Structures are given as structure tokens and as C-alpha cells.
Amino acid sequence: MTPAASAAHRAAEAAARTAYGRLVALLARDSRDLAAAEDALATALARALARWPDDGVPANPDAWLLTVARRELGHRRARAATALAAEPALALLDDERADTPAPDLPDERLKLLFVCTHPAITPRIQAPLMLQVVLGLDAARIAAAFLVSPAAMGQALVRAKARIRDAGIAFAVPPPEQRPARLAAIRTAIYAAYGAGWGDAAPTGNDLAAEALFLARLVTGLAPDDAEAAGLLALIALCEARRPARRDAHGAYVPLDRQDVRRWDRDLVREGEAALRRAAAMGQPGRFQLEAAIQSLHHQQRFTGADLSLPLIGLYDRLLAIAPSIGAAIARAAALTAAGAAAAALAALDALAERCRDHQPWWAARADALAALGDGAAARDAAVRAAGLSQDPAERAFLLGRHAG
């Protein structure tokens, strides 16, 4: 590849990554036709790759792409309407050569996020839809993270886009009385994208984690008054900060209490802590802020060596009061074990037994509580059961070794 061609490639790729959602939002805002907007943008990106190496990268690549994609959309409509394919080719060429003015393109991505998470869209397709139309991920990659077949994911996305177009879901910011619930739907979808593929809390996460982090940053930028959005960003940033430390040099799983804190990503820790402070200052506590605060306490415990298990249990109690979940209840029991109250932990776990028969974290927490109570044989059985329910080879090996012999 010549230097000019590779520069054009890089510019087109950068435009695709950073501007995809912004351009889709602008292209679909009036027609509500996301599929057509994406097709037109794909055509524009292909044309950019063909032309920029010779013509040079335009001063405002986004505006260039928008112009070409809009023209493409217009042609498609004209073709559909009149079946006439005669194109004003010279005008097209002029348009693309013209030094496109560089207006400040409005950022309509918040409206796009509201559309993707509209109550009329099936909840389970909201996160995949967001990943596709805001970030341009292909259906196969999304399908892999959500553990469904690419064909099924592709069909579900096509159906959701047709529904947006045909049901007339508006590209609009919802009225104030609906805004909190609609913002909550956006956060839920981002969290689902982050959690997709984690299965039973496998330690690796999935390759959508970076995308979820991007979306969380985006929402805090677009809705800076939303404390829970900042809480979600804090939670994802703090969890992602630990990713480099979750495996040792041999690929073996390392639990939080044994991780090398020097391998945590300092920038993400700072970003998460700053987001948590911003959220707390708004005085609207919520589920994601509490979960982020729990991660933050875990970090402080590791950084300072202080025993913060009692405040941790307090945070879990508050979390369970506003957002009860199996995961939080099990985590609270694990905190009880860590605080030296293994008998209470075991009792709390027993109360969940009915719903947790095939739930890996429950068996792992049970193994630790039993081991703390000195029942080695029962701890070993529970750890083996947890290993049998794990989807992650490193975690499985860790659990099999945890209470062995």
C-alpha cells in the first residue's frame, strides 16, 4: 500500500470508528430507517477508501461521508420511487470534489440511544441493536458475545430495525417525565453489553467490554446530569481496570484478593473514581453507584491493606434493598465469610439454595464458607461442583485446585 493509500485507509477507519453512530443518527433521524442509513454509510465508507488515496483525505471527513451517504440515500429513494436509475453522475463527482464546508455536525447519538432502547423494542435485542447502530459492530461479533447464532442475531436486528421504521419510533429526546425511565433503559442495555458472555461471572469478560466502556463514557457525556450513568461508567471502569491482573503469567485465574495491584490500569482506576465522585455529588443514589462504590472499597482494601469488610457488607445491604439480585446476595455472603462470619454466610447461602442449584458463583461462595468453618470435605465437593458449572478453563482449574486435598 502506498503511504497515501494507507493514510486514506487509516482516515476512513478512524471515521468509521469514531463517527459511525453520529453519522447513522444524522442519516436516520428523519426517515427512521436505520438499515438504509447503515447501507448508505457503508457505501460512503467504501467510496472513501476508493477515492481518498487519489484525491487526498478531505478536510472534514465526517461531513464528506455524510454528504455522500445522503446522496446515496436520495438515489435509493429515487430508484425505489421511479425505477429510474439515471444518476446525475457529474453532479455527484462535483459534490465529492467540492471542498466540503465543515459545519459543526450536531451530535444526535443520545436520540439514537433512546431509539435503540425504546420500550417497543424487545429488551433482549436492545443492547445488540445499540452495539450495531452506534458502534457499527457486525452481527457475527455481537452474536458471539451473546451466545446466539449469527443468523439468529442478524434476523433479530433486521426485525428490530424494521420495527423502528414501520412503527414510527421517533428520533427524539423523551419528555421530562419519561426521561429517567428511558435513561435507565439505556444504562441497562449498556450493562447487558458489558455482561454479555460473562456467563456465570467468568473472569475474562468478553471482547465487548471496550465497547461498553465507550458507550458508558458517551452517555455520561450526553447526559451529564444522570448520576446513575456516571455510576455505570465508574463500575465498568473499575472492573476493567483489574482486567490485566486477572490472569497470571501462565494464564491462571487470579482472584481479586491475590491480584498484583501494580498490574491494575491506573488510568481506568482514576477515571472510575472520578466518575463515582461526580455521581455521589449529585445526591441521587442508585444501583450502579452502589456497585461502583463496592468495587472502589475492594480497591481501597487492596491498596491500603485495611479491613473494610464491614462497610462492604453495609453497601451490599443497601444494594440489596434497592436492587435485589442473586449475584449481590452471593457477593454479600462472600463478604461475610471474609469478615469472619462464615456461619452467617452459609445460612445466607442456604436461603438461596432453591434458585442456585446450577449457579457457579453460589457453589464457589459456599466452598469458601465451608472451608472457613473447617469442613474441608464439603468445601472440596462444593468447589468441584462450581468447577463443573464454570465456562472458563482458567477459573475451572482454579476452583479444582482451591480446596483440593
Q: To the nearest whole angstrom, how small is the minimum distance from the Cβ of residue 392 to another protein?
A: 8
**Could you give the maximum distance between any two Cα atoms of the chain, in Å?**
83
Q: Is the Cβ–Cβ distance between 116 and 134 less than 8 Å?
A: yes
Q: Minimum Å distance from CB 397 to another protein?
A: 6
By CB under 8 A, residue 140 contacts another protein:
no
Q: Which is nearer to another protein, 44 or 202 (CB)?
A: 202
Nearer to another protein, 267 or 358 (CB): 358
**CA Rg, the chain, in Å?**
25
* Identified binder of another protein from the candidate list 199, 285, 311, 314, rule CB under 8 A: 199
Name the residue type at position 199: G
Contact map string, positions 339 to 358, toward another protein, x by CB under 8 A: ------------------xx
Q: Give the nearest distance from C-beta 335 to another protein in angstroms.
A: 25
The full DSSP string for 35-80 is HHHHHHHHHHHHHHHHHHHHH---SSHHHHHHHHHHHHHHHHHHHH
Choose between 271 and 392: whose C-beta lies nearer to another protein. Answer: 392
Q: Closest distance between another protein and the C-beta of residue 17, in Å?
A: 29
CA distance 175 to 390: 44
10 Å Cβ neighbour count for 353? 11
Nearer to another protein, 171 or 363 (CB): 363
User: Closest separation between CB of residue 384 and another protein, Å?
Assistant: 5
Q: What does the per-residue mask of binding to another protein show for 364-403, with x meaning CB under 8 A?
A: --------------------xx-xxxxxxx--xx-xx---
- In b/e form, how buried is each residue of 81-109, taking b as 16+ CB within 10 angstroms? eeeeeeeeeeebeeebeeebeeeeeeebb
Q: Phi/psi at 15 (nearest 5 deg)? A: -60, -40
Interface residues with another protein (CB under 8 A)? 147, 199, 357-358, 384-385, 387-393, 396-397, 399-400
